Structure 1
Amino acid sequence: MLDPRTYTPSPDLLRDRVILITGASDGIGRAVALAAAAHGASVILHGRNVKRLEAVYDQIVAANQPRPSILPLDLEKAGSAEYDALITALEKEFGRLDVLLHNAGMLGERAPVEHYDVAKWMRTMHVNANVPFVLTQRCLPLLRRSPDASIVFTSSGVVPNPRAFWGAYLVSKWASDGLMHLLADELEQPGIRVNSINPGKVRTNMRLQAYPAEDRSLLADPAAIVAPYLYLFGPDSKGVSGQTVSCQ
């Protein structure tokens, strides 16, 4: 496998590919959505804040790139009816799905287990681990219709280096990585590749929550780490599955 960090995508790498990105209104999700659209993808922008999603939408349209779609949905509160409506809309509009990026996430709180708020633990576990399971399960019929489908999970540096006070975020990211490995094995025969990406230290709002006193000028801009995402989205990563790819 080539080094995804130094990958140089062709201009039309993702032409005609349908890509669903959760958490696309800000940070890494926004940067990846803009990059995917710039390389020809029809991007489905998911998020909770419609105004922010519309800003990403407008930027893509202004650049004369494939017109994206907006998918406002609160993943923390979504139930069966909301997922049914989502899949119905995707089926009607596109008929298939080529890439699913699980980018949306929740930090929870930085606290020792002894004092961790139970409700916050449950919400963080749900958004970071349960939602990717449910969304993947519901999207699989659409992904199976793609000639070259890819599912990408978001990992974290705390997975290989677990440490105190990371609570539900750490545990949920372990679960997310476990789900990635499980799916990579289960979906080997249909030819759907499944991988995780560890973004590293990036200038995002979640990073600010975790490290409020950090010098943010030393952090990578989200736009600087998109190459590994594009690599896993496109045909050059065929045969790569069950891997965790680092952006830095």
Structure 2
Amino acid sequence: MRDRIGLISGATSGVGGAIVAERLAHGDSVIAVGRSVERLADLRDATPASVGTGKLLTLSADLSTREGQTLLRSAIEASAPDGLDYLVHAAFGHIGEDEGKSIADITQEELVEFLSNSVILAHLTVQTCLPSLLRKRGSQLVFIVADWGLPQHNVLLYGESEGGAVGSEPYVSAKYALTGLASALEIQQDVRVTAVYPGVIASAALDTAGEPTFLTLDATDDEVAAAGYSVPEAAIPLSDIVAAVSFALSTRATVKTISIRPTGRGYIGV
């Protein structure tokens, strides 16, 4: 398990960034990919204290474009000429799921952008990284999905928010698409595949880009409470997501599915 090289997409989000920090502390070399140059700089500034013997390479690229895919291939060839040990795909878009914004309320442009950033991006990222993963015996692919991607998830049927129903048909269907991709890759390709299905993750208010700002690994109880959560009763801390990924990457067995939910009895979901 030593001297491993991994790639983490969506590294500028709270979830992706937390996984990057943990893998570096574990001693891995990590290629952290995201679109925002500024957020990648913040990631570099935030990780040195957590780094063990690992090395960090950040890459600003839009993987939904040919240019971004070319940049990624070049980075992989330069940093992992013998192949990647793992890919953790943590990138995903948002489309009003917490507000119960249904497909009837979404414009065609919003829908195309969301599906491009969520479903197509996952396929293109895997397609770009797969040749490198196949070079390594026992390579792994980990998808951060959400319990919305489990067929038994009931949030669309029973959820409510201040504005009415919770849930978005496009959001849920996109999570199902990741489940299908993970299942098909497990059968078709010589890689070990894990899908992680967390429930509600503790986050602060949405930022100006409409993305959730996840609380950091070292968030205080007061910060969690100010965001409206009690952890772990009402939401999952980032540390639990990181621990799930770490477990999947550290065992010799194939960990197919990890489902994580808050402990509160009133949680709406699986």
Aligned partners of 2:84 and 2:133 also within 8 Å? yes
The count of residues paired between Structure 1 and Structure 2 equals: 227
Q: Which is richer in strand?
A: 2
Matched, 1:239 2:254: yes
**1:200 and 1:168, CA in 2 relative to 1: closer, same or farther beyond 3 A?**
same
2:222 aligns to what? none
Aligned AA for 2:111?
A: W
Q: Which has the higher relative contact order, 1 or 2, with Cα contacts under 8 A spaced 6 or more apart? A: 1
Choose from 149, 169, 172 the match for 1:170.
Answer: 172
Residue 227 of structure 1 deviates from its aligned partner by 1.4
Query: Structure 1: which 5+ runs fail to align?
Result: 1-13
> How far, CA to CA, are the matches of 2:19 and 2:103 in structure 1?
34
Q: What is the percentage of aligned positions where both structures have the same residue?
A: 26
Which residue identity is paired with 1:239?
A: T
Code of the aligned partner of 1:69: L
Structure 1 residue 119, shift from structure 2 partner: 1.3
Q: Secondary structure at 1:24's aligned position in 2?
A: coil
TM-score, scaled relative to structure 1: 0.81
The structure-2 alpha-carbon separation of the partners of 1:175 and 1:44, relative to structure 1 and needing over 3 Å to count, comes to: same
How far 1:200 moved relative to its partner? Answer: 1.9
Does residue 130 of structure 1 match 2:131?
no
TM-score for the superposition, normalised by structure 2: 0.75
Q: 1:89 to 1:150 in 2, by over 3 A?
A: same
Aligned partners of 2:62 and 2:229: how far apart in 1?
28
- Asked whether the equivalents of residues 35 and 61 of structure 2 are also in contact (C-alpha less than 8 Å), the reply is yes
Deviation larger for 61-70 or 142-151? 61-70
Contact 1:98–1:150 (CA under 8 A) maintained in structure 2: yes
CA distance in 1, matches of 2:76, 2:106: 38
State the superposition RMSD in angstroms: 2.6
Which residue matches 1:5? Answer: none
Question: What is residue 68 of structure 1 aligned with on the other side?
Answer: 56
| Equivalent residue number for residue 112 of structure 1 | 102
Distance 1:144 1:204 in 2: 35
Match of 1:50 among 37, 42, 63: 37
Helix, strand or coil at the partner of 1:197: strand
**For residues 88-131 of structure 1, what are the alpha-carbon distances to aligned partners after superposition, in whole Å with 9 as ceiling and x for unaligned?**
22112221111111101111124222232111111111121111
CA–CA distance in 2 between the matches of 1:173 and 1:94? 30
What is the rounded CA distance, in whole Å, between the counterparts of 2:140 and 2:205 in structure 1?
25
